[in-house]
Amino acid sequence: MKKHEKNRNVAIIGIGQTTLSSHKEDQNQVEMVAEAVRNVLADANMTLDDIDCIVHGNMELFEMQFQPDMWHALGCGSYGKEEYRITTGGTVGATLVCASDSLVASGQYDTVLCLGFEKLQEGNTTGGITNMADPLWFRNLQTGALTSTTATEMIKEFGKDRVLRAAMKYRIMMDKHAMLNERAHRRLGLEYDQLETLMETSPQLVGELRLIHMCSQSDGACAMILTHEDRVKKGTAKPPVWIRDHETSHRGENMSNLYGAQKPKSTHRDCAERLFKRNGITNPLEYFDVFEMYDPSAYWGLDWLREFLLLKDDAVLKLMEAGEFDLDGKLPVNPSGGVIASNPIGATAMLRPAEAALQIRGDAGGHQIKKEVRHALASGFGGTLWTVMLMLEKELNW
């Protein structure tokens, strides 16, 4: 296998999350991020004295507060320390992990704590997204993930009944996973025998996209501690999870390109092709043991699996219909319940590698998959089709 090398190998040695809820009214933002920081320090058996740098991020537009890291200094422990503030939209959580990985790998810092959060009850998500509208880029109206375009395209390609059933099966599968995750926000107790009823009765949003298909709006925070190989050799409280590689793909896309006569290659497929080629991965479906994917809606989840896993024709539908993305399937997808179950946006894309790392450690609790997890994949997604992917490994042997 082709070897991908960093200046220093980097491991995740601490993971901390808050509970995820629609309204965390018992906490302000400082108290909420402090909960995640306390949890990650306890997980790594460290104190703030062991941390060299804090990397902080969220979607500032959503709480309408500029530079929240200044307010959060006491909650995240950055007072008197070096700190970076990053905001890249929906991908910010994944970007925080990638940036922290680069800061440690480069040798600039030995140990970094990264923190992503969102407290959407204190802001206006729709207002924040609408501010991104720009008629010069044909973005006259921003609706975020509220689109039925993918559903329409898949129906045209594979037929209406098959696609509607596959999307609802994906949604019910995510809920079954979330029911096993005590931290997940939305746990509805859905059953597969409700599939046809949900297809008919869930309120319609736009086109074939219904309310049950959509992600939640959540409050919560996630924190991770990253350090280098030599520090790991001195001993860690929990097994290290190695960040093998990460890749980002984004384009300043406009409507005429996206919906022109010839559809361009998606950023998901572009990102996956470059990441897998660099690391010698020829069959991601066979190589990875779990995939924590950023899935804002059931239709996008279904379509994006095809792109990330480089599948052709109707292979993704066949795998979905056969239950191969379930916890005991060929490639379990989102054992945590995914973004559809919990979506504190600034933390959402960090929860993906965090949950993947918990699976590698065998620490995922009720939603731990039964087979050994040695190779994990995680993704983040944000506006203007910005995609981030991370490869995590149990062993430092590539």
The confidence score (pLDDT) of residue 250 equals: 84
Amino acid occupying residue 192: Y
- The larger pLDDT score, comparing residue 53 to residue 382, is at 53
User: CA end-to-end span of the chain, whole Å?
Assistant: 8
Instruction: Find residue 159's DSSP bridge partners.
Output: none
Backbone angles phi, psi at 64, to 5 degrees: 60, 35
Confidence band (pLDDT; 50, 70, 90) for 134? low
For residues 129, 133, 138, 143, the Cα torsion angle rounded to the nearest 10 degrees is: 30
The confidence score (pLDDT) of residue 66 equals: 82
Confidence band (pLDDT; 50, 70, 90) for 49? very high
CB count in 10 Å sphere of residue 320: 25
The confidence score (pLDDT) of residue 90 equals: 86
Q: What is the pTM of this model?
A: 0.94
Encode pLDDT of 14-28 as tens digits. 999 999 988 888 999
> With left for phi above 0 and alpha for psi between -120 and 50, is residue 30 left, alpha or beta?
alpha
Encode pLDDT of 111-122 as tens digits. 999 999 999 888
Encode pLDDT of 350-370 as tens digits. 999 999 999 999 999 999 999
Amino acid occupying residue 389: M
Q: H/E element holding 78? A: none
Contacts of 177 (CB under 8 A, 6+ apart): 327, 334, 335, 336, 337, 338, 341, 367
Give the residue-averaged pLDDT of 150-154.
Answer: 92
Which sign, positive or negative, has the C-alpha torsion 23, 28, 29, 30?
negative
For residues 16, 325, 384, 119, the Cα torsion angle rounded to the nearest 10 degrees is: -30
- Give burial (CB, 10 Å; 0-12/13-18/19+) of 65: middle
The confidence score (pLDDT) of residue 2 equals: 52
Is residue 87 within 8 Å of 59, Cβ to Cβ? yes
pLDDT beyond 80 at 132: no
Helices (H), strands (E): how many in the chain? 17, 11
The confidence score (pLDDT) of residue 52 equals: 97
| Cα–Cα distances in angstroms (integers) from residue 143 to residues 21, 32, 83, 263, 335, in the given order | 23, 28, 33, 21, 28
372 vs 394: CA distance, rounded Å: 10
pLDDT beyond 70 at 375: yes
Is residue 76 within 8 Å of 69, Cβ to Cβ? yes
| Lowest model confidence (mean pLDDT) among 124-138, 146-160, 291-305 | 124-138
Confidence band (pLDDT; 50, 70, 90) for 146? confident
Instruction: Find residue 243's DSSP bridge partners.
Output: 392
Encode pLDDT of 223-255 as tens digits. 999 999 999 999 999 999 999 999 999 876 555
